[in-house]
């Protein structure tokens, strides 16, 4: 099951409000090479072992809007080698792609979305490569746009999606469903909407585990000169073998340009499951998602809020960012998995010369396993980076970092790293 707010936002854009202009191909790609020395490669409390960790990375971003095809994609691939085999050498890929077939404001469209995220196999364990896996969500959605008048439109859409895990195949699922959205344009910059969604979800690797999900929501969307926001509120419910589990659903997205600073905020309350989790969401700390614990297929109430403030021109040479998020997961059947996670991050960048910059960042993550004997976990990392622009395409960097991470309630591990890197951007 995927978050429903993007459906409303897409519908908002389709009507022509805030619709982007047709543009030419925009293509960017890059490569990087980093070599770090760690004094505790396995992040253990006793007998730490030092090692070198080498990483190569490739990334690509492309977008284009043609008459009958529009697409937007961005992917990052990396391969990490551990010199003393503290962990298994491996590659990882994450990113997103969206392709729309059909005229941008046409009667019929087919939208294909894909996301790949790094996810913790067990959120209660350390954020190590051995505890990481990749989750793919692929959705195909044909849509029919039926204008009722110059300011009213109904969108009918079907949906077929597949969730696949690289390691935890029991969490694989597929969704088959349909949506209907009615929109009324109040003006050139805002609109209201009513939507209904009905989905059947099946855990494909578990015999006879299916359930139904329904959502009725009312929305308001606006794009002003310095402020854009989307609001949606309604009721969502799951039903399985006659048993029902439901509650209030809401989605809020806001971005405000403060002239020299940008404030963004979001909040959500929704029912999801431990297959789809938070869908294509990204952890603001940059860490892998701790997205749904699994002792068997289950649904849970997900409550989420985040805010960030970016000072783009704090001074003539510096920028400053703050971010915060909190997420609660309350499970329908396995209450031992109830979890609360808080993330805090901040960074400060200072331009030393026209070619060099320095930055310092801080990331803290707190996890509380509310009904589990393992209690709570916390980690905090401070990172300092110096970057030098060799030319328009090549940058070199030098980095220092310190990580403090809980292993159990009574023990913790410390890791210090020093590294050199070079990257090429085209």
pLDDT tens digits, one per residue of 313-371: 888 899 999 999 999 999 999 999 999 999 999 999 999 999 999 999 999 999 998 88
State the average pLDDT over residues 256-264.
94
Question: What is the rounded CA–CA span in Å between residue 376 and residue 366?
Answer: 7
Question: How far, in whole angstroms, is CA 287 from its chain's centroid?
Answer: 10
State the average pLDDT over residues 75-97.
94
Question: What is the rounded CA–CA span in Å between residue 267 and residue 250?
Answer: 8
- Does the pLDDT at position 8 exceed 50? no
- Does the pLDDT at position 9 exceed 50? no
pTM, 2 dp:
0.89
pLDDT in tens, 362-383: 999 999 988 877 778 899 999 9
Instruction: For residue 292, count CB atoms less than 10 angstroms from its CB and return exposed for 0-12, middle for 13-18, buried for 19 or more.
Output: buried
- pLDDT (0 to 100) of residue 393: 96
State the average pLDDT over residues 68-91.
94
Question: What is the rounded CA–CA span in Å between residue 135 and residue 172?
Answer: 9
Task: Say which residue, 124 or 299, is predicted with more confidence.
Answer: 299
| 313: DSSP letter | T
- pLDDT (0 to 100) of residue 129: 86
Least confident range of 183-192, 264-273, 282-291? 282-291
Predicted confidence band of residue 30 (pLDDT cuts 50, 70, 90): very high
Spatial contact of 128 and 113, defined as CB atoms under 8 Å apart: no
Nearest to 248 by CA among 275, 215, 280: 215
- pLDDT (0 to 100) of residue 122: 85
Work out whether strand 69-82 and strand 356-369 pair parallel, antiparallel, or are unpaired. Answer: unpaired
State the average pLDDT over residues 37-54.
93
- pLDDT (0 to 100) of residue 12: 36
Question: What is the rounded CA–CA span in Å between residue 57 and residue 65?
Answer: 28
Predicted confidence band of residue 130 (pLDDT cuts 50, 70, 90): confident
Question: What is the rounded CA–CA span in Å between residue 239 and residue 108?
Answer: 32
State the average pLDDT over residues 391-408.
94
pLDDT in tens, 48-60: 999 999 999 999 9
Q: Which letter, b or e, does each residue of 93-110 get, where b requires 16 or more Cβ atoms within 10 Å of its Cβ? A: ebbbbbebebebeeeebe
- Does the pLDDT at position 10 exceed 70? no
- Does the pLDDT at position 3 exceed 60? no
Element (H or E) spanning 7, and its range? helix 5-14
Percent of the chain at pLDDT above 70? 92
Q: What is the CA radius of gyration of the chain?
A: 23
- Tokens coding 128: 């190590």
- Does the pLDDT at position 16 exceed 80? no
Q: How high does pLDDT run on average in the chain?
A: 90
- pLDDT (0 to 100) of residue 284: 57
Cα-Cα end-to-end distance for the chain? 37
Q: What's the farthest any 2 CA atoms get from each other in the chain?
A: 72
Task: Say which residue, 13 or 255, is predicted with more confidence.
Answer: 255
- pLDDT (0 to 100) of residue 285: 56
Predicted confidence band of residue 127 (pLDDT cuts 50, 70, 90): confident
Least confident range of 86-90, 111-115, 395-399? 86-90
- Tokens coding 113: 């979305």
């Amino acid at each position: 099951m995927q978050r429903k707010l993007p459906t409303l936002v897409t519908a908002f854009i389709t009507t022509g409000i805030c619709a982007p202009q047709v543009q030419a191909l925009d293509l960017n790609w890059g490569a990087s090479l980093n070599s770090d020395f760690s004094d505790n490669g396995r992040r253990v409390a006793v007998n730490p072992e030092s090692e070198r960790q080498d990483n190569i990375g490739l990334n690509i971003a492309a977008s284009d809007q043609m008459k009958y095809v529009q697409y937007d994609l961005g992917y990052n691939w990396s391969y990490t080698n551990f010199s003393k085999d503290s962990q298994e050498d491996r590659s990882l890929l994450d990113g997103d792609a969206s392709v729309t077939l059909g005229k941008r404001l046409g009667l019929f469209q087919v939208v294909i979305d894909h996301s790949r995220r790094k996810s913790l196999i067990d959120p209660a364990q350390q954020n190590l490569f051995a505890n990481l896996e990749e989750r793919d969500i692929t959705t195909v959605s044909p849509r029919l746009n039926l204008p009722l008048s110059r300011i009213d439109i109904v969108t009918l859409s079907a949906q077929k999606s597949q969730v696949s895990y690289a390691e935890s195949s029991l969490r694989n699922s597929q969704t088959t469903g349909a949506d209907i959205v009615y929109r009324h344009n109040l003006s050139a910059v805002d609109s209201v909407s009513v939507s209904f969604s009905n989905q059947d979800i099946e855990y494909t690797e578990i015999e006879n585990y299916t359930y139904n999900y329904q959502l009725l929501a009312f929305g308001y969307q606006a794009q002003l000169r310095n402020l854009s926001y989307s609001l949606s509120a309604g009721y969502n419910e799951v039903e399985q073998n006659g048993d029902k589990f439901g509650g209030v659903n809401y989605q809020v997205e806001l971005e405000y340009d403060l002239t020299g600073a940008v404030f963004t905020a979001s909040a959500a309350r929704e029912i999801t499951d431990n297959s789809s989790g938070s869908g294509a969401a990204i952890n603001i700390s940059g860490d892998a998602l701790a997205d749904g614990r699994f002792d068997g297929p289950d649904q849970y109430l997900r409550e989420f809020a985040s805010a960030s403030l970016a000072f783009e021109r704090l001074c003539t040479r510096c920028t400053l960012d703050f971010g915060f998020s909190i997420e609660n997961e309350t499970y329908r059947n396995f209450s031992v998995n109830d979890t609360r996670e808080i993330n805090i991050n901040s960074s400060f960048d200072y331009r030393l010369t026209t070619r060099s910059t320095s930055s310092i960042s801080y990331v803290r993550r707190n996890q509380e396993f509310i009904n589990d004997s393992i209690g709570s976990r916390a980690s905090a990392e401070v990172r300092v980076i110096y970057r030098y622009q060799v030319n328009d395409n090549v940058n070199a960097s030098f980095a220092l970092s310190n990580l403090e991470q809980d292993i159990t309630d009574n023990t913790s591990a410390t890791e210090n790293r020093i590294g050199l890197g070079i990257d090429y951007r085209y």
